[in-house]
Structure formats: structure tokens, C-alpha cells
Amino acid sequence: MNVREEIKQNGMTILQGNEGSLKVIFNNLIGENIKGIAYQNYLNNVAFNAGFEYGTILFMKDKKLIEKGTIKK
């Protein structure tokens, strides 16, 4: 069975993909994998261009909330 993952913000799906493809991106967005200036560079060069903004994001699997995080300033 194909599991659908999504990262949502403000009620909108910003990214979606198959199982396993988005967890690393979610962790990057909330600063788990990247810290300091590298985190700010990631936000400015990747996240904001993809449509994200500062604030709460949701990691979903098959429309079920798995984790809630925050894109921090």
C-alpha cells in the first residue's frame, strides 16, 4: 500500500510525496537537522521559495497528524 505524506501550513498542503520522502524535509524545516546560519540559509533559499513561512507546520501521513513543528525565526 502506498502511504501519502504531506507537510501542511495554514491548512494548505505545501509538499506531498510517498512514504519516507518528506520526514527529512520536515526535520530541516523545524531546525532538527540544520542549525544556526545554515538553518537560516535553508529557510531563505529553499523553504520560503517552496511556499513556507515562519510558523506552525504539520507532518501528515494518510491525512493523520504525525507531528507538529515550528519554522522558527
Read off the pLDDT of residues 8-33 as tens digits, 9 standing for 90 and up: 999 999 999 988 879 999 999 999 99
The boundaries of the domain holding residue 25 are: 4-71
Cell numbers at 10, concatenated: 495554514
Confidence of residue 2 (pLDDT cuts 50, 70, 90): confident
Helix, strand, coil shares of the chain, percent, nearest 5, are 30, 40, 30
Counting every residue, how long is the chain? 73
Asked whether 65 and 52 are in contact (CB, 8 A), the reply is: no
Number of domains the chain is built from: 1
Residue 17: φ, ψ to 5°: -175, -175
> What integer is the mean pLDDT of 33-56?
97
